[in-house]
Structure 1
Amino acid sequence: MKRLFSILAITVMVAFGTANATTIANTSTAVTTVTTMTQDDAAPAEELGFHQELKKRFIEGGPGFMGIVLLCLILGLAIAIERIIFLNLSTTNTKKLTQDVEDALSSGGVEAAKEVCRNTKGPIASIYYQGLDRADESVEAAEKAVVAYGGVQMGQLEKNVSWISLFIALAPMLGFMGTVIGMIQAFDKIEAAGDMQPSLVAGGIKVALLTTVFGLVVAIILQIFYNYIIAKIDSIVNNMEDASITLMDLLMRHKK
């Protein structure tokens, strides 16, 4: 009987130990599997940085049309930045300039007012100078000079702005052309393979659409700069017109 109890006890202990070992082994295997799966899942979940993703998509789109669209962006931004700097330098405090010219006319005459204009940058000061330079002739001659030189200054403000509008229109058109050519190449591959394979279609369409996306992004960026430049030009032109009217009033009062 004791031997029977001893055998049963040993059997229970062995069975319990085996069960524990199996549970531990299974748990370790599960943990290892979960860890491996987590690592495997985490690997593709790593996202590329913005610049790396942009570079990857640019390469996938093909160097041909993507390079031309990038050139449009670079040239458009260069012109836009140059125009913005020029327009900001052309902005003048019209009220202060008008007051200085009026004070100079009252104290030192036309030559003193012209000296104030010479020492001030911007198209408004140049218009004032041209008007004052004809002040000795007549008010009508001064007005004609102001109008004529105002047109010259407006042309300088709008210089090269048409190129930005060209790049805005050209970038998406180049993108669409790249998309159409990519679609044609995709269908050529399908025709050569003789079978409708999704990988052929999906790859070709993705590459084709990347050029369109990039072209639209370039157009959007340049459009923002273009609208800012146009608004800045309109503001300066309005100030020029107001300043011209004010100058004529000053010259008439000075003549009297």
Structure 2
Amino acid sequence: MAGELAENPSRARHVAIIMDGNGRWAVRRGFARTAGHHRGVERVREIVQAAPGLGVETLTLYAFSTENWHRPGYEVAVLMALFRRYILREVGEIDAQNVRVRFLGERERLPRDLQRLMTQMEERTAGNTGLLLQPAISYGGRSEILRAARQLAAEAAAGSRDPAAITEEDMAAALYTGGTADPDLVIRTSGETRISNFLLWQAAYAEFAFVEECWPDFTAEQFARLLAEFAGRDRRFGRVAAAT
């Protein structure tokens, strides 16, 4: 199967997922919203394990947005604790699976101990050559673009860059995702049909899939079906299909 996927140019090499609906999943079952976040972490493990066998080379997971900082303090605290727990519990298995981790987002806003754990996980897995896992924590697409623009502007002001010569490639390289191919497929769970400030630059020509299931109910089997459906799409990137 892996050989067939490697020869298939229409496979989704980079998949990004907006993991939405944890709170609603819990409330519908009479649980506290935080119970949904706990279940969502278990789902992350399953999808990460399944991704390489499905031909995915990069998996970007929207875990906590810049807007999520406005949620109730207790819920934010639970999420921070879950991020710590995930790193401590999973880093060994992630490393053993040859997965490389790179965190995206404004990590300076996160608790210092969590920042240290994130750096340690990145350093431990830096030499791995399998799946690139990019958890987006304290991430916002607009702030990412603004940050990159300020960086390029500062270089221009310092005289190290000609502002008239700045290219799209320069901007892409200045983003958190610099050096990574743009996503082929963006998936959002929970029935919502918006992008929510996620990978605004990178997803310019991505395909989208919106599913009704909340993230805790999103399975590896459904992931595989979405990837198979993606392989049948005609991606023209603004071009006209050749006449037959």
> What interval of TM-score do these two structures reach, taking the shorter chain for normalisation?
under 0.3
Normalising by structure 1, report the TM-score. 0.22
TM-score by length of 2: 0.23
Return the structure number with greater strand share. Answer: 2
